A = this chain, B = another copy of it.
């Protein structure tokens, strides 16, 4: 029932998860290292990472016993396009904007 936009916005609606995303902006991180700054169990962080993964905002890859978390910022594209239609950009040409983004993604 919940589409990609639901999942993305819901994933962003939590300060812990937003902080995790900010951390991953620097570099890929192991689950344990993601958890380190938080006063919360590893299991709780693991759940947060699951929510971010299901939303497509991060990806996780296991190498050896370490699971690496990687930011997937393009997954925010849908959210940003949606939300910006309410901002001051509402007069812009969105077909052109889409064409521009497609072009950016390919190039």
Would you call A13 and B15 a contact (CB within 8 A)?
A: no
A87 CB contact (under 8 Å) in B14, B80, B90:
B80
Number of copies: 2
Interface residues of A in 1-60 (CB under 8 A from B): 2-3, 5-10, 12-15, 18, 21-22, 25
If A93-B101, A97-B100, A104-B93 touch, whether A86 touches B21 (CB-CB below 8 Å) is yes
Would you call B76 and A87 a contact (CB within 8 A)?
A: yes
- Complex: how many Å from CA A103 to CA B10? 31
- Complex: how many Å from CA A77 to CA B100? 18
- Complex: how many Å from CA A13 to CA B87? 17
- Complex: how many Å from CA A104 to CA B55? 33
Would you call A73 and B86 a contact (CB within 8 A)?
A: yes
Would you call A77 and B97 a contact (CB within 8 A)?
A: no
A71 within 8 A of B: yes
With contacts A5-B15, A10-B13 known, what are 6 further pairs, Cβ within 8 A? A25-B86, A76-B83, A76-B86, A80-B80, A80-B84, A96-B100
